[in-house]
A = this chain, B = another copy of it.
Amino acid sequence: MDIHALTRELNVKNDSKIVLLVADGLGGLPLAPGGKTELETARKPNLDALAKIGVQGGSIPVCPGISPGSGPGHLGLFGYDPIQYLIGRGALEATGIGFQMEPGDVAARGNFCTLDAAGKISDRRAGRIPSEESAPLAIRLREVKIPGYEIFVEPVKEHRFVVVFRGAGLAGAVKDTDPQATGVAPLLADATDGGSRKMADLANQWIAAATKLLAGEKKANGLTLRGFAARPKLPSYEEVYGLKAAAIAVYPMYKGLARLVGMEIVGKAQTLADQMDVLEANWKKYDFFFIHFKYTDSTGEDGNFDAKVKKIEELDSAVPRITALKPKVLIVTGDHSTPSYLKSHSWHPVPTLLVSDCCRPDGHATFGENTTVRGGLGQFEAKYLMTLALANAGRLAKYGA
């Protein structure tokens, strides 16, 4: 089912405000059976107060058992089926470093590698060359010019960089040039459909010229490209929900994901307090606010249970500044779980709390994984969260007579 066909058809305009507060990787695990999760351990009086007047449930990012990356995790929360809408690796990498891809652009992830005298790869990652050495090389690659195209090269980290090709008639169905082995030469870029041949030719021209430029380097005298991907075609929030949406994020990746669905990036917040300032300053200008809090994920990835608890407590302390603005709908959730026990993204349903005057409270007094199990939202696919938000905001008409 195309949920956006429904949200378009049933769209109602009003002056309600919706806030989507995303604590990245919010869901967790107890360290041992019978124990509490990070969220259940945290002292979070403000979120617990919301639980009393709200309804909670478990958001399934993709489908049971599937752990999403940041791309599908956020697309799901934004109401875009993460199976239907794919953000290719190259496009996600470009987005993640803040590069603003335009429609028609194709991005690829680049690796510096070491080639031997015969042109065969002796180290696929150029000895994990440090960023200080690789960044100037990536910037030097901007010297490669190919008539009719704009080509952007951005350093990422260590042996990694991004290259974005811009020009008419490019498409992303091109195979990796990394042979995933040493002792062999990099592969030629090869199109997997007719529409991508131009891109493959362009990539091969560019790689040849770039490799020539790197010839004198000791470690990084070659390169491979992986994950060719065009900018994904995502209908905008304005178009599918009739919402003027703002994103208040600190990290480029989340600003980039929000931009892909047509949100405007507002403010230059560096801290949660900054983000609240930006929210207040822009309250009248937008219908919808996506606020991204990164540190529940990064502490989970570090496997630091106590630090994740502290970050949840920090988030909790910001909640009164949101509720003081009296949004019609406030949702607190995550794009996926990142249990510190696993030190990684996971598939577990994400604790999700929705508050509105018509949300049908489910009688819980706290917000946590085990209360969501008995929550009024049940377990639901993340892609339905926006429909629920719109419904609670009075922004959806009745379906059928």
Contacts and interface: CB of A to CB of B under 8 A. Distances in A.
Nearest to A29: B360
Interface in A338-352: 339, 341-342, 344-349
Contact of A401 (B71, B361, B378, B401): B71
A376 B375 contact: no
A399 B81 CA distance: 13
A66 interface: yes
Interface string A342-378: 1011111100000000101111000001100111111
Given A374-B373, A398-B69, A399-B68, A388 B358 contact: no
A87 B30 contact: no
Contacts of A67: 391, 396-399
A66 B401 contact: no
A86 interface: yes
A215 B10 CA distance: 37
A335 to B, nearest CB: 11
Nearest to A61: B399
Interface residues of A, number: 69
Given A378-B378, A401-B92, A391 B65 contact: yes
A66 B391 contact: yes
Contact of A384 (B65, B339, B384): B65
B396 A65 contact: yes
Contacts of A68: 398-400
A369 B29 CA distance: 24
A93 interface: yes
A137 B58 CA distance: 56
Copies in the complex: 2
Nearest to A374: B374
Interface string A191-212: 0000000000000000000000
Residue of A68, A342, A347 most packed against chain B (CB within 10 A): A347
Contact of A358 (B342, B362, B378, B379): B342
14 contacts: A1-B63, A63-B387, A65-B387, A65-B388, A66-B387, A67-B399, A71-B400, A72-B400, A86-B400, A341-B358, A347-B388, A347-B396, A349-B376, A379-B379
Which 7 A/B pairs are nearest by Cβ-Cβ distance?
A: A65-B387, A378-B379, A64-B384, A65-B391, A69-B400, A33-B53, A72-B400
Interface of A: 1, 3, 6, 10, 29-30, 33-34, 37, 52-53, 58, 62-73, 82-83, 86-87, 89, 92-93, 339, 341-342, 344-349, 358, 360-363, 369-370, 373-380, 384, 386-392, 396-401
